[in-house]
Amino acid sequence: MSVAKLIVGNWKMNGLLDDSRARARTLGSAVSALKDSGFDMVLCPPATMINAVADVLAGSPVRHGGQDCHTEASGAFTGNISAGMLKDLGCTHVIVGHSERRQHHAETSALVAAKAAAAHAAGLIAIVCIGETDAERSEGRADAVVSAQLAESLPPSATAENTAIAYEPVWAIGTGKTASADDIKHMHALIRTKASEKVKNGAWLKLLYGGSVKAGNAGEILHLPNVDGVLVGGASLAAEDFLSIAKASVG
Ligand code: 13P
């Protein structure tokens, strides 16, 4: 297993072909030029741009992934995309259970587990997202909520090799409010312990932090214990910023 930090850009529903290609091209060349960068970078564009981004990234060490997948391999599911279709486009990863999908698409942890299992069956690494809301934190329920989401969102097929877990406190996403170093340390230690009860070799499982990660705070976050990478939204839309975040993981 690689000890390189995993730096994932979640572009969400942003951009069109031209700017997506340009951003991917800049990142692909910059990371290629580093030779042995010491980090693993994955870009997750909107589904319509995956193919174009994959073409641009060909030959570079930067990989690409999807932002969601369906639980089934194929069938009458209008508007959905299967894990196999992502694999077909050369994706290595897929994000499942992002809080925006839990919130706006009423995704339950059981559904997220089924999506992660579908990703595994297709040969993808599932990035399983969990995290508490502001209200849950103020009620003192953050640990309980995150523990329950973790227990219910990991399918039996999860291993340290085919799964990464992203702790993204909902109140930190797109708000400019980052969780404190102590909060991240506490929650990642909890996630490591709980995940190790379900997944063999849990010590190797990649635990990512997400929520207002920027070039200015990435270095501190990426060097906290049990932080094996970051899942970045807004700051991944600017190539220079995202590259600075990735570089902050080394040295
Ligand atoms: P921001 O980095 O914009 O806060 O988004 C985090 C996120 O949701 C990544 O999946």
pLDDT of 2 above 90: no
Structure tokens at 15: 């951009």
Please compute the mean of the pLDDT values over residues 191-218 and round it to a whole number: 96
**Encoded amino acid at 166, one letter:** A
Give the Å distance between the CA of 124 and the centre of ligand 1: 21
Question: What is the CA 244 to chain-centroid distance, rounded?
Answer: 18
φ, ψ of residue 163 in degrees (nearest 5): -140, 140
CATH number at residue 224: 3.20.20.70
Q: How many CB atoms lie within 10 A of CB 110?
A: 11
The tally of domains found in the chain comes to 1
**Encoded amino acid at 189, one letter:** A
Name which residue sits closest to atom 1 of ligand 1, judged by CA.
233
Q: What is the 3-state secondary structure (H, E, C) of the chain?
A: CCCCEEEEEECCCCCCHHHHHHHHHHHHHHHHHCCCCCEEEEEECCHHHHHHHHHHHCCCCCEEEECCCCCCCCCCCCCCCCHHHHHHCCCCEEEECCHHHHHHCCCCHHHHHHHHHHHHHCCCEEEEEECCCHHHHHCCCHHHHHHHHHHHHCCCCCCCCCEEEEECCHHHCCCCCCCCHHHHHHHHHHHHHHHHHHCCCHHHCEEEEECCCCHHHHHHHHCCCCCCEEEECHHHHCHHHHHHHHHCCCC
Please compute the mean of the pLDDT values over residues 145-174 and round it to a whole number: 97
The rounded mean pLDDT for the chain is: 97
φ, ψ of residue 32 in degrees (nearest 5): -60, -40
Find the catalytic residue in 64, 70, 93, 98.
98
Predicted confidence at residue 46, as pLDDT, reads 98
User: Range of 202's domain?
Assistant: 5-247
Beta bridge partners of 9: 43, 232
Name the residue of 127, 177, 213, 214 whose CB sits within 8 Å of the most ligand 1 atoms, as the mutation to test its pocket.
Answer: 213
Give the span between the Cα atoms of 122 and 96, in whole angstroms: 14
List Cβ neighbours of 77 (8 Å cut-off, separation of 6 or more).
70
pLDDT of 1 above 70: no
The response to whether residue 68 sits with its C-beta less than 6 Å from ligand 1 reads: no
Tens digits of per-residue pLDDT, 26-42? 999 999 999 889 999 99
> Is 168 a catalytic site residue?
yes
Name which residue sits closest to atom 2 of ligand 1, judged by CA.
233
pTM: 0.98
Question: What is the CA 196 to chain-centroid distance, rounded?
Answer: 19
Q: Alpha-carbon torsion 168, 170, 176, 180, what sign?
A: negative
Percent of the chain exceeding pLDDT 90 equals 96
Given a contact cutoff of 8 angstroms between Cβ atoms, the answer to whether 147 and 190 are in contact is yes
Predicted confidence at residue 3, as pLDDT, reads 87
Find the catalytic residue in 70, 93, 168, 188.
168
Predicted confidence at residue 35, as pLDDT, reads 85
Tens digits of per-residue pLDDT, 207-225? 999 999 999 999 999 999 9
Tens digits of per-residue pLDDT, 67-96? 999 999 999 999 999 999 999 999 999 999
Given a contact cutoff of 8 angstroms between Cβ atoms, the answer to whether 62 and 31 are in contact is yes
How would residue 23 be classed by pLDDT, with cut points 50, 70 and 90?
very high
> Is 98 a catalytic site residue?
yes
Predicted confidence at residue 64, as pLDDT, reads 98
Please compute the mean of the pLDDT values over residues 176-182 and round it to a whole number: 93
